[in-house]
């Protein structure tokens, strides 16, 4: 079979054809070349042993970092299969086998509930639980949210709304939510159209409440209400598909796929904040082309078509103070008995009154000329067109892309445009727009193209990435979204075996990203649940292996400080060459006694004891120091000590009388010797009233002054005696 790869972008473009040149398309240019910037390798695979061209085999997959196992829904057997990943080795392929299965139907069936379908699971390590969404066999009855432990034992069961299709647990484990799709599966004429809703379970109080979309004041007027309905019909027509929560768990974003809208819900109050339409993708703009023709050619071109995004899976990220919503723009028609809102272009093309002003990539003349070419060529006759959106344009299902939106305003920040079709055409030209249930070339071009099904977000090193599974041709796209407004292609990995109709990994339905910190190989992993082939692929991102933190050391592990005093803890992370985040969180177990700031500085507040905990941001490593805070001691009042210049006269020997002075010098010398002898006995000096001995320095000064004074007095006395004696002699000889 001959194929041609053409990309048409405007009426002024130059024609260039790749491949076999049996067809010359107007206004074409060669496609861009996309290079991988990160390598991915499949290192393991799990097979249920079952396949189904209609899907529903290996669907939603979740990873449990607590036990390094993944849990996958086996839709054929209605079980949750548990598979151990702890033995994985980097760059080494391994065939995995299940450890056990949890049979939800056997656990739940009772007189009040008949099991219908197991649709979704989620895992929360904070409470060590698994949540499962289960539908009743009767499509009009309420389903259940089942809470299990890691081994599959039922802990709690909560009533959900009608047809719970997705379940999610907040990071802190406080809330569990389900998106209750409530499809009118028997049509509108002979069946019921249940109310779409969101169930919110407060896991602390074990209370559940149902949120309806009955407040039309918060629903935008351009939200797509099917069957040409009004906002008053929204309570029945809106069909919640998927939920993503903000990091703090306080806000839920809900995709309403068939309605091309996103609902925003306050989790704590259970109130719908807004329901906003996503608008339309202008396929006339450069970079937004698509292959909409069934003509056995790869023909990506600009056309007067408005794509209705209709996302299935969504994911929320918070970056640089902004909240963004990522959407996998799959598209979905309504086809329930007589309630059908799609037809082939051939059947409705004459009823379309094209409004050229809707297409910013064309002039009026270009839009009208291209539209007439589509009508007359026959190549677009099988194009699937939405019938209840309006007749002013060709409205098609899905965006064939993933998008990033400002979550507050729902303004478009980034869209991957036509890149998914361009990349798959470049890498797999012989299998372009294959479906997942046959091997027909370009079969999906006139429908929804590659059909982006699921989107997940994760960190690889210091970069933020988005992972998008393509349901039809299969494989996973990886984009670097570190700069959300300028996301760039990073990798496309397809592990499908195209030599057979269903072989290898076919039809990604659910993705689960495992960051390197939680990976058994110390490298980032992506689990891909493939619903047609019944397999789970384990893809490893080939980056430098993670060097995890092994321990935290502190300069002190036990301290005692006074009230008002501070102490600076110094924390060391080992090994020093770790490649994970070294951000530390400091907390005090008793801040009324001692506080600690983000740098590890402790302040004593009140008498008592506390523990200071320092741990890594992921709480995997921690160190504890004990602290005692004591009262500040009362300072004692100092007792005055006598000093030599204020000595008590009674402590000093009295001056000699005249009679004493008349004694001979020999007597004076004897007195000095006696004093020295009496004051040289182990420095035993009088004690002050405190009873404490005088300091040695004070005693020495006291003795020195005393000795000096005695010598002066004795010397003076001797001089006086000699003088008196001389006067007597003078009188005798006069």
- Distant-in-sequence, close-in-space partners of 566: CB < 8 Å, separation ≥ 6: 601, 602, 603, 604
pTM (2 decimals)? 0.79
In the prediction, which pLDDT does 48 show? 97
In the prediction, which pLDDT does 30 show? 44
In the prediction, which pLDDT does 713 show? 58
Q: Are strands 18-19 and 4-8 parallel, antiparallel or unpaired?
A: antiparallel
Q: Are strands 622-630 and 558-562 parallel, antiparallel or unpaired?
A: parallel
In the prediction, which pLDDT does 634 show? 77
* 409 phi, psi to nearest 5 deg: -110, -15
d(CA 587, CA 605): 15
Domain 551-630 CATH (choose: 1.10.10.10, 3.30.70.380, 3.30.565.10, 2.60.40.1080): 2.60.40.1080
> Which residues share a beta bridge with 558?
626
For residue 649, give the 3-state DSSP assignment: helix
Q: Are strands 551-554 and 154-162 parallel, antiparallel or unpaired?
A: unpaired
How distant, in Å, are the alpha carbons of 22, 291, 431 from that of 377? 17, 14, 24
In the prediction, which pLDDT does 619 show? 86
Max CA pair span of the chain: 171
User: What is the DSSP annotation of 247-292?
Assistant: TTS-EEEEEEGGGTEEEEEETTTTEEEEEEE--EEETTSTT--B--
Kindly list the domain boundaries of the chain, sorted by start residue.
4-541, 551-630, 652-732
Domain boundaries 4-541, corresponding CATH code: 2.130.10.10
Cα pseudo-dihedral 391, 392, 394, 399, rounded to 10? -110
Task: Please check whether residue 318 is in contact with residue 457, taking contact to mean a CB–CB distance below 8 angstroms.
Answer: no
Task: Please check whether residue 30 is in contact with residue 304, taking contact to mean a CB–CB distance below 8 angstroms.
Answer: no
- C-alpha closest to that of 59 among 39, 44, 42, 79: 79
Q: What share of the chain is helix, strand, coil (3-state, %, to 5)?
A: 15, 35, 45
| Half-sphere exposure (Cβ direction) of 569: Cα atoms closer than 13 Å | 34
Mean pLDDT by 10 residues, the chain (734 residues): 42 33 34 87 98 96 99 96 98 96 93 94 98 98 98 98 99 98 97 98 98 98 95 98 98 99 99 99 99 97 99 98 98 97 98 98 98 98 96 98 98 99 98 95 97 98 97 98 98 97 97 97 98 98 90 96 96 92 95 97 97 92 96 71 48 45 44 44 40 44 52 57 55 48
Neighbours of 114 (CB within 10 A): 13
- C-alpha closest to that of 463 among 484, 487, 480: 480
Element (H, E) at 623: strand 622-630
d(CA 325, CA 391): 30
Residue keyed to tokens 């998927």: 242
| Half-sphere exposure (Cβ direction) of 425: Cα atoms closer than 13 Å | 27
For residue 493, give the 3-state DSSP assignment: strand
How is residue 249 written in tokens?
């768990």
Element (H, E) at 144: strand 142-148
- C-alpha closest to that of 99 among 122, 75, 79, 76: 79
d(CA 3, CA 16): 14
């Amino acid at each position: 079979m001959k194929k041609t790869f053409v990309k048409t972008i405007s009426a002024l473009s130059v024609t260039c054809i790749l491949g076999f040149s049996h067809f010359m398309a107007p206004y074409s240019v060669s496609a861009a070349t996309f290079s991988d910037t990160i390598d991915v390798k499949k290192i393991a695979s799990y097979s249920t042993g079952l396949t189904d061209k209609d899907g529903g085999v290996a669907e939603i997959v979740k990873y449990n970092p607590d036990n390094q196992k993944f849990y996958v829904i086996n839709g054929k057997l209605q079980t949750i299969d548990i598979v151990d990943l702890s033995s994985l080795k980097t760059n080494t392929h391994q065939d995995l086998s299940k450890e056990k299965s949890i049979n939800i139907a056997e656990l739940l069936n009772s007189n009040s509930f008949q099991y219908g379908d197991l649709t979704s699971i989620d895992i929360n390590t904070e409470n060590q639980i698994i949540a499962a969404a289960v539908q009743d066999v009767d499509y009009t009855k309420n389903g259940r949210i089942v809470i299990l432990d890691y081994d599959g034992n039922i802990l709690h069961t909560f009533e959900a709304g009608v047809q719970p299709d997705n379940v999610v647990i907040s990071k802190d484990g406080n809330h569990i939510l389900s998106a209750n799709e409530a499809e009118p599966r028997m049509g509108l004429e002979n069946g019921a159209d249940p109310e779409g809703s969101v169930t919110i379970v407060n896991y602390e109080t074990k209370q559940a409440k149902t949120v309806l979309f009955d407040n039309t004041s918060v629903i935008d007027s351009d939200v797509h209400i099917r069957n040409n309905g009004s906002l008053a019909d929204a309570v029945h027509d809106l069909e919640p598909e998927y939920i993503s929560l903000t990091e703090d768990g306080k806000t839920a974003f809900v995709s309403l796929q068939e309605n091309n809208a996103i609902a925003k819900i306050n989790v704590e109050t259970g109130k719908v904040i807004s329901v906003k339409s996503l608008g339309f993708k202008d396929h006339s703009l450069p970079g937004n082309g698509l292959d909409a023709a069934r003509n056995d050619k790869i023909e990506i071109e600009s056309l007067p078509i408005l794509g209705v995004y209709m996302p299935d899976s969504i994911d929320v990220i918070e970056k640089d103070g902004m909240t963004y919503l990522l959407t996998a723009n799959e598209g979905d028609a309504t086809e329930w008995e007589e309630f059908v809102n799609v037809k082939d272009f051939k059947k409705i093309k004459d009823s379309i009154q094209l409004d050229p002003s809707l297409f910013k990539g064309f002039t009026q003349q270009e839009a009208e000329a291209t539209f007439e070419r589509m009508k007359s060529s026959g190549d677009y006759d099988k194009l699937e067109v939405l019938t209840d959106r309006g007749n002013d344009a060709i409205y098609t299902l899905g965006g064939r892309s993933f998008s990033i939106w400002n979550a507050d305003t729902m303004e478009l920040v980034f869209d991957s445009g036509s890149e998914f079709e361009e990349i798959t055409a470049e890498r797999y030209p012989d299998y372009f727009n294959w479906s997942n249930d046959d091997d027909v070339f370009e079969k999906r071009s006139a429908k929804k193209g590659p059909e982006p099904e699921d989107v997940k977000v994760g960190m690889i090193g210091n970069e933020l990435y988005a992972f998008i599974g393509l349901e039809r041709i299969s494989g996973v796209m990886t984009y670097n979204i570190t700069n959300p407004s300028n996301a760039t292609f990073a990798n496309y990995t397809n592990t499908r075996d195209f030599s057979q109709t269903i072989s290898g990994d076919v039809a990604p339905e659910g993705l689960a990203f495992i960051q390197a910190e939680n990976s058994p190989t110390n490298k980032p992993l992506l689990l891909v649940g493939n619903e047609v082939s019944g397999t789970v692929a384990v893809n490893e991102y080939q980056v430098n292996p993670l060097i995890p933190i092994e321990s935290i050391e502190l300069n002190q592990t036990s301290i005692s400080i006074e009230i008002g005093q501070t102490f600076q803890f110094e924390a060391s992370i080992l090994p020093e060459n770790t490649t994970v985040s070294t951000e530390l969180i400091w907390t005090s177990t008793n801040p009324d006694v001692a506080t600690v700031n983000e740098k590890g500085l402790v302040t004593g507040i009140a008498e008592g004891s506390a523990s200071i905990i320092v741990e890594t941001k992921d709480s995997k490593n921690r160190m504890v120091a004990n602290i005692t805070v004591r009262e500040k001691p009362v300072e004692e009042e100092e007792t005055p000590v006598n000093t030599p210049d204020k000595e008590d006269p009674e402590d000093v020997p009295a001056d000699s009388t005249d009679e004493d002075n008349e004694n001979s010098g020999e007597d004076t010398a004897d007195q000095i010797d006696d004093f020295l002898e009496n004051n040289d006995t182990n420095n035993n000096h009088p004690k002050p009233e405190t009873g404490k001995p005088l300091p040695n320095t004070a005693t020495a000064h006291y003795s020195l002054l005393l000795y000096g004074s005695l010598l002066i007095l004795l010397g003076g006395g001797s001089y006086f005696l000699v003088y008196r004696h001389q006067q007597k002699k003078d009188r005798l000889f006069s």
